[in-house]
Amino acid sequence: MSHLDLRGGTPACADDGVWLTCIECGETFAAFQEVRYTCDDCDGLLEVRYDDLPTWEEFAGTGVWRYAAALPFDEGVSLPEGATQLHDVPRLESDIGVDRLRVKHEGMNPTGSFKDRGMTVGVRVAKEVGVDRLACASTGNTSAALAAYGARGGIETLVLLPRGKVAAGKVAQASLHGARILEVDGNFDTCLDIVQDLARQGKVYLLNSLNPFRLEGQKTIGLEILEQFRDEEGSYPDRIVLPVGNAGNTAALYKCFRELQETGALAPAEVPALTGVQAAGAAPMVEAIQEGTEDTRRWEEVETRATAIRIGNPVNAPKALPGIRETGGTAVAVSEEAITRAQRDLAEEGVGVEPASACSVAGLRKLREQGVVGAGEQVVCLTTGHLLKDAEAAVRAGTEPEPVPGTTGGVLDYLGD
């Protein structure tokens, strides 16, 4: 039996019907009595389990906490978050050539990325276990979200960033929300190694997506997409395309689908194909899918203008790779030029996203051109972060400002009208 199978009774260690299970060996642990991020026995990733899984009817309200019945608590440290738009993008839909294309713009969350969904749950858990310092490694968005939610929750926050590789808007957010910012001489993966060591030594409470509670919050992206798409189209999407860094979202969406299937709320044939997209310069997940391996090979050298996903060691790969495979999805790498083109394409539809987010659309275009995605498909692309997160990239991808004189006549002359 795969330990990704949700069946099995409630273990004695469960707190109020919630516990942790190792996805590798199946060992179970209490959820809140002690701090733990990986399995004591085999170091495998942990997953949150419930004795009771919800049906659609149990969801009420709006945003992340609409889905409280699928989460460990009824409410969290909230700004609030979730309830993001599913945009129509008609020109892009016909240009790429699919039956339906919707864009789920997670850049519309309070700190401008999907990370808020994970933090509202993660910081709530931090309060439950009673920690006094939160920390994360980050390519930027996680640090912005943790700083804001840490501030909201009144807990000290420490963030480790790869020096010189984080977009200014994200550093500004972490800074103003009062986090201590450590700029590490190394890439994101080095930052994560260090913060994991700090967490193991009990110096900090880790809120990277290794923390299984973060992924519970991010599961609500899947629940929202399914509900919104069903309300608008009368069915579920065939495919969800998303940018991949640490593969936390991919893992979270897969867990969402597994839980819904477990209660019969989603039929096996209705599960969307999870389709991951990485920048060609940082694509260990794509490599693992192509080579059929169970984990990724760590890429020491990574580079891309999509700095949010400049990651060579996706820690959630063991959770996410089965998700891509079992839903009939795939993973694809896109070029730097394709990322900028997709960023412009989305902007032309009024949807402003940062480069990493544009990967989903770039990946969909490539897969459609290759014939991997069919013309009859109904697709949702996830855009994970707001345009203003990386203003420099937007300026580079956008139009040039034109200097004009400071008079109406001068402006009219310049315009030639």
Regarding 216 and contact with ligand F0G (CB under 6 A), the answer is: no
* Residue 417 CB, nearest approach to ligand F0G (Å): 40
Regarding 196 and contact with ligand F0G (CB under 6 A), the answer is: no
167 in Cβ contact with 393 (< 8 Å): yes
Backbone angles phi, psi at 195, to 5 degrees: -70, -30
Regarding 244 and contact with ligand F0G (CB under 6 A), the answer is: yes
Regarding 273 and contact with ligand F0G (CB under 6 A), the answer is: no
Is the Cβ of residue 358 or residue 367 nearer to ligand F0G in the bound state? 358
Regarding 360 and contact with ligand F0G (CB under 6 A), the answer is: no
356 in Cβ contact with 390 (< 8 Å): no
Residue 342: alpha-carbon gap to chain centroid: 18
Regarding 357 and contact with ligand F0G (CB under 6 A), the answer is: yes
| Residue listed under structure tokens 């192509």 | 290
190 in Cβ contact with 118 (< 8 Å): no
Rounded to 5°, the CA angle 248-252-256 comes to 175
Report the site for ligand F0G in 332-351 (rule: CB under 6 A): none
- Taking residues 5 to 44 in sequence order and writing x for each that binds ligand F0G by CB under 6 A, - otherwise, the string is ----------------------------------------
- Taking residues 95 to 124 in sequence order and writing x for each that binds ligand F0G by CB under 6 A, - otherwise, the string is ------------------x-x---------
Is the Cβ of residue 84 or residue 138 nearer to ligand F0G in the bound state? 138
Beta strands at 86-88 and 100-105: parallel, antiparallel or unpaired: antiparallel
Residues 6+ apart with CB under 8 A from 205: 35, 126, 129, 131, 133, 134, 135, 199
Regarding 211 and contact with ligand F0G (CB under 6 A), the answer is: no
Count of residues in contact with ligand F0G, rule CB under 6 A:
22
Is the Cβ of residue 241 or residue 265 nearer to ligand F0G in the bound state? 241
Q: CA-CA distances (angstroms) from residue 268 to 236, 250, 251?
A: 12, 18, 17
Rounded CA gap, 245 and 321, in Å? Answer: 13
Would you state the structure tokens that stand for residue 290, as one six-digit string? 């192509």
* Residue 308 CB, nearest approach to ligand F0G (Å): 3
Is the Cβ of residue 54 or residue 214 nearer to ligand F0G in the bound state? 214
Q: Which residues bind ligand F0G (CB under 6 A)?
A: 113, 115, 138-142, 209, 243-249, 308-309, 354, 356-357, 384-385
